[in-house]
A = this chain, B = another copy of it.
Amino acid sequence: MKSISRANCPIRRTTDILSDQWSFLIVREFFLEGRKRRFQDLQTELGLSPNTLSNRLKRLEHSGILERRQYSDHPPRAEYHLTAKGEKLGPVMQALYDWGMQYPDTGQASEND
């Protein structure tokens, strides 16, 4: 685990994409709730505003982690799913999960769902 340049460090490349208030949690929904998620699902599950969600989704799509698939026009229905690249985030999510499980007292979130 040794990087050459800080700007091009693999950890930095990863966190540049995912390290904000929502991205990890959005990806989390795919691992926890199912491989296909719809806009409304995610919004309800996470409780963020549609513009913010739209924004993150586009970024994740652009980064090749999610893929959008529209399968109906008239009642507009689209679903997002993890790409192979997105699936490979499994170990990352697992590691975040494991650490969080070891320290249940950490953090300040207290509201239910």
- Residues on A facing B (Cβ under 8 Å): 1-3, 5-21, 23-25, 28, 31-32, 45-46, 63-64, 85, 88-89, 91-104, 106-113
Residue of A24, A46, A92 most packed against chain B (CB within 10 A): A92
Residues of chain B lying within 8 A (CB to CB) of residue A6:
45-46, 113
Contacting residue for A8 out of B15, B19, B24, B109, CB 8 A: B109
Main secondary structure of the interface of A (DSSP, over half): helix
User: Are B1 and A94 in contact (CB-based, < 8 A)?
Assistant: yes
What are 8 A-B pairs with beta-carbon distances under 8 A?
A11-B93, A14-B107, A17-B107, A19-B23, A20-B21, A89-B99, A91-B95, A92-B96
Complex contact B91–A103 (CB within 8 A): no
Q: Are A12 and B100 in contact (CB under 8 A)?
A: yes
- Chain B nearest CB from A63 CB (Å) reads 6
B12 touches A107 (CB 8 A): yes
Q: Which residues from chain B contact A19 at a C-beta distance below 8 Å?
A: 18-21, 23-24
